[in-house]
C-alpha cells in the first residue's frame, strides 16, 4: 500500500477505516426488520468548496502537469446536508440506482453511522485463478450525442488509457501474477443518466495470493488518484479541503474462494446528523476547469436526487 502525505481529515471520523461483517449460512429465517420512523427531512447542501475554488484546483493540477510533476490527478469535492429522522429508506434508494455493480447499505449496529453505495467500478476481483480490475474514466450525458462525443474525445481516451496503463502496472506487481492483458478497452457503460468508459484489465495467478499483498498493490485505486500515484496523492493532499472519508476506498465481499471489491465511488455516508457525498474527476493537461466542475456535479446529482426523493411527509 502506497504511503503518502496525509490529506485533510475525514468529515465522518466516526466511521472506521476498516469494517468487516461476518456472514454465516443458516436455515433460520432472518428476524423481522425493525419499524422505520417517518418524517425524513433533508436540509440544504453545503459544499466543501465553491465552483470557483474547484476550478482553481483544476488549474493548479494543470500547472503541476505543465511542470512535469504529474500526468493526471483525480480531484474530489465534498458536500454535506443536515437531516432528521431515520435515513434507511433514503440510503436504500441510493443503493438501487441503475448501473450499480456494487449496490448496498452498510450500517453500524448501534445506528451511529451508515453508508450506501451505488458504485459501477471494480477495484479488484479474484476468481477462478485470475485477478482483474475494471477502471472507469470518461463521462458524458447518457444521450446519443453524449455517447458519440465520449467515443470521439481524444482527451477522454488519453485520460482513460493512462489509468489503464497504471492498473496494468499495479497488477504486474502482484506476487505470482502472470502476463497482464487488457481484455476490453474503452467500453461505454451507463450509470444513471451518464455514459462512462470502462476497461477490463486482468492477469492469471499462480498459487495462493496473500490479501495484504493484493491490497498493497491496488490501493488506493488508480482511477481516483492519478499518475504517478505517489505524486498524485501529494497533489490531492494539498488541494482538497475535506478528506475523502469512506469514498474512493473499497467495499465488497471476501469468500473462501473469491474476492470482489468495488471502488466506493458514488457513495454517501450518514453520521447521525449530516449526510455526505463526494464526487470528482481526473484532471489532465487538456482539462477545462468549468467542464470538470460540471462533471463532478453531474456525478453527485443522482445520489442527491435519490436522497431527496426519499422525503416523506411527517406521520
Q: Are 75 and 283 in contact (CB under 8 A)?
A: yes
d(CA 256, CA 25): 13
Q: If we measure between CA atoms, which residue out of 286, 287, 258, 270 comes closest to residue 116?
A: 270
| Phi, psi at 222, each rounded to 5° | -65, -35
Q: Does residue 228 have a cis bond before it (omega within 30 degrees)?
A: yes
Beta carbons within 8 Å of 194's beta carbon, 6+ residues apart: 139, 140, 141, 142, 298, 299, 302
3-state helix, strand, coil split of the chain in percent (to 5) is 30, 30, 40
Inter-helix orientation angle 211-218/154-172, to 10°: 150
DSSP 122-144: EEEEEETTEEEEE-EEEEEESSH
Q: Is 274 helix (H, G, I), strand (E, B) or coil?
A: strand
Q: Would you name the residues annotated as active-site residues?
A: 121, 137
Buried b (16+ CB within 10 A) or exposed e, 178-199: bebeeeeebeebebbebbbbbb
Amino acid at each position: 500500500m502506497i504511503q503518502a502525505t496525509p490529506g485533510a481529515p475525514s468529515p465522518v471520523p466516526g466511521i472506521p477505516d476498516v469494517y468487516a461483517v461476518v456472514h454465516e449460512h443458516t436455515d433460520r429465517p432472518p428476524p423481522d426488520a425493525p419499524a422505520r420512523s417517518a418524517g425524513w427531512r433533508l436540509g440544504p447542501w453545503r459544499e466543501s468548496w465553491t465552483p470557483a475554488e474547484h476550478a482553481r484546483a483544476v488549474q493548479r493540477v494543470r500547472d503541476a502537469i505543465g511542470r512535469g510533476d504529474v500526468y493526471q490527478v483525480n480531484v474530489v469535492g465534498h458536500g454535506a446536508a443536515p437531516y432528521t429522522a431515520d435515513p434507511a429508506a433514503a440510503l436504500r434508494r441510493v443503493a438501487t440506482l441503475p448501473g450499480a455493480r456494487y449496490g448496498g447499505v452498510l450500517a453500524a449496529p448501534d445506528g451511529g453511522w451508515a453508508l450506501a453505495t451505488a458504485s459501477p467500478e471494480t477495484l479488484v476481483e479474484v476468481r477462478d485463478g485470475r485477478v482483474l480490475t475494471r477502471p472507469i474514466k470518461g463521462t458524458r450525458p447518457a444521450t446519443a450525442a453524449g455517447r458519440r462525443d465520449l467515443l470521439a474525445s481524444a482527451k477522454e481516451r488519453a485520460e482513460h488509457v493512462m489509468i489503464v496503463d497504471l492498473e496494468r502496472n499495479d497488477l504486474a506487481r502482484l506476487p505470482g501474477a502472470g502476463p497482464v492483458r487488457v481484455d476490453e478497452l474503452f467500453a461505454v457503460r451507463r450509470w444513471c443518466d451518464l455514459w462512462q468508459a470502462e476497461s477490463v484489465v486482468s492477469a492469471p495467478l499462480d498459487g495462493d495470493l496473500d490479501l495484504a499483498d493484493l491490497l498493497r498493490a491496488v490501493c488506493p485505486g488508480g482511477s481516483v488518484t492519478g499518475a504517478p500515484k505517489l505524486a498524485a496523492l501529494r497533489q490531492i493532499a494539498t488541494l482538497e479541503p475535506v478528506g475523502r472519508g469512506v469514498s474512493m476506498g473499497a467495499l465488497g465481499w471476501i469468500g473462501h474462494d473469491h474476492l470482489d471489491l468495488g471502488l466506493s465511488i458514488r457513495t454517501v455516508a450518514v453520521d447521525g446528523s449530516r449526510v455526505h457525498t463526494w464526487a470528482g474527476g481526473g484532471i489532465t493537461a487538456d482539462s477545462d476547469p468549468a467542464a470538470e466542475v460540471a462533471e463532478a456535479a453531474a456525478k453527485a446529482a443522482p445520489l442527491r436526487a435519490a436522497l431527496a426523493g426519499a422525503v416523506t411527509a411527517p406521520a
